[in-house]
Structure 1
Amino acid sequence: MDETFAESGVTLKFGIVLASKPGFARISLPDTDNLRTMWLPIAYPKTQDDECYWTYDTGEHVALLLDAQGEDGVIIGAIFSDADTPPVTDSNKFGIRFNDGAMLEYDRQTHTLSVTGVSKVIVEASTTIVLKAGSKVTIDSPEAQFTGRLQVDGLLTYLGGLEGGGGDGSKFTGRVDVDGDVHATGSIIDVAGNSNNHSHT
């Protein structure tokens, strides 16, 4: 007959991270005279075809399972405590906070996903990136740059002026209405010929 959990000698312990490396950590156990474990594996959601990784910090409070000899086991997760409290008190929020101030947060009550406190964001795809909003997309930045072709299928409206140059010039198909003066340093040509020096009587 298979032995029970109690008969196997497996115990639940709580300890403090002494040292860590990707996938493993060594733990100090305060309730056993600060016994130091060997390098123990950390349990992660996925470790084979898809991989999840997160290295523990020295001093982090963790829970672990150890065998009867205290030589082998697994770290099942980090836990909050009086010293390390949750960064939020709202139960509607899911979040990941980093020690440099960056935070990823989703509020299921307001349906808002926020990424704050970062200095650089890189989103890279081999084929296509689609941004879709039901009403509006706002880019609030002193400057924006597109390195390739830009196509606007709807109405293009600009309020701060328009300036351009380079390439083979500009081409418009359809009617162009100008409310104000037009200044050209070169010729203005219509189907009737050069019109920048003609006069009306």
Structure 2
Amino acid sequence: MNELGIICDIKEGKAKVAIGDMVTDFLSVFQSLANSYAVSFSPLRIGEQVLVIPVRGDLNSGVILRGLYQEKHRAKNTDENTFNIDFEDGTHLEYNSKSSTLKLDVVKDINITCVDKTTHNQNNTLNTKNHTTNANTITLNAPSINLNGNTQIAGAISTSGEGGASGTFSIKGNLNLIGNLQVSGNISDSKGDLTNHTHSCTCGATASPR
């Protein structure tokens, strides 16, 4: 006969179950997947309510079927279109098949390792409060890249045109420079060439810039 009980001891993925005054041996526990396609593991917890299914009438040779709701462990969202998981640290995963929306609230870090490239062909928006990217090299390929907001760059900047040709650096606004300016070409303003122009000296003669 199947028996309801409470997990009272855990060891290496197996559990003992208290059924009234009886305590079973360590029994195997049903997991979601256990085959060549995929293997999954959901940690056990002491106090978890389970069902013990005996094998050949012997509870001590049986297996544990888990996933029964308890008073203090019930689903927060039972919407018929929503799959959701709440973890003990406060992390929440939710997918709504009606709106096709995935929601993930993580209390700390998310680490994603991708050996090959990831391709996404649709328009998307990433909204974050604070965002930091750490990488050996970052390459952005796009016909145009827009940076909206104050931008601070710590390090050298080099530009090149298509195919490695000379690039163009255009600024709409004022340029405030702290340090030296070195130019290999000419400098000009709205009045003309500042590199090769001549100017009048106080003595009445003309001179070239130094």
**Structure 1 and Structure 2 fold alike (TM over 0.5):** yes
SS of the aligned residue for 2:95 comes to: strand
- Does residue 27 of the first structure (1) align with residue 20 of the second (2)? no
- Does residue 113 of the first structure (1) align with residue 102 of the second (2)? yes
What residue number does 1:140 align with? 128
> Could you give the per-residue CA deviations for residues 34-71 of structure 1, whole angstroms, max 9, x where no partner exists?
31100000012333433111121111111120142432
Deviation at residue 112 of structure 1 after TM alignment: 1.1
Distance verdict in 2 for CA 1:162–1:117, change over 3 Å: closer
What residue number does 2:3 align with? 13
> Could you give the per-residue CA deviations for residues 55-95 of structure 1, whole angstroms, max 9, x where no partner exists?
21111111120142432100122201344322213121111
TM-score (norm: length of structure 1): 0.77
Deviation at residue 142 of structure 1 after TM alignment: 2.7
TM-score (norm: length of structure 2): 0.74
SS of the aligned residue for 2:108 comes to: coil
Please show how residues 33-48 of structure 1 align to structure 2 within 5 Å: 34-48=21-35
Distance verdict in 2 for CA 1:139–1:199, change over 3 Å: farther
Distance verdict in 2 for CA 1:158–1:118, change over 3 Å: same
Distance verdict in 2 for CA 1:63–1:88, change over 3 Å: same
Deviation at residue 139 of structure 1 after TM alignment: 4.2
Distance verdict in 2 for CA 1:95–1:53, change over 3 Å: same
CA distance in 2, matches of 1:162, 1:80: 51
* Higher relative contact order structure (alpha carbons within 8 Å, sequence separation ≥ 6): 1
SS of the aligned residue for 2:66 comes to: strand
Equivalenced residues, count: 184
CA distance in 2, matches of 1:99, 1:149: 36
CA distance in 1, matches of 2:28, 2:77: 29
Distance verdict in 2 for CA 1:133–1:22, change over 3 Å: farther
CA RMSD of aligned residues (A): 2.7
CA contact under 8 A between 1:15 and 1:61: conserved in structure 2? yes
Deviation at residue 133 of structure 1 after TM alignment: 5.9
Larger Rg: 2
SS of the aligned residue for 2:113 comes to: coil
Letter aligned with residue 39 of structure 2 = E
Which piece of structure 1 moves more, 60-69 or 36-45? Answer: 60-69
Distance verdict in 2 for CA 1:200–1:145, change over 3 Å: farther
Please show how residues 73-88 of structure 1 align to structure 2 within 5 Å: 73-88=62-77
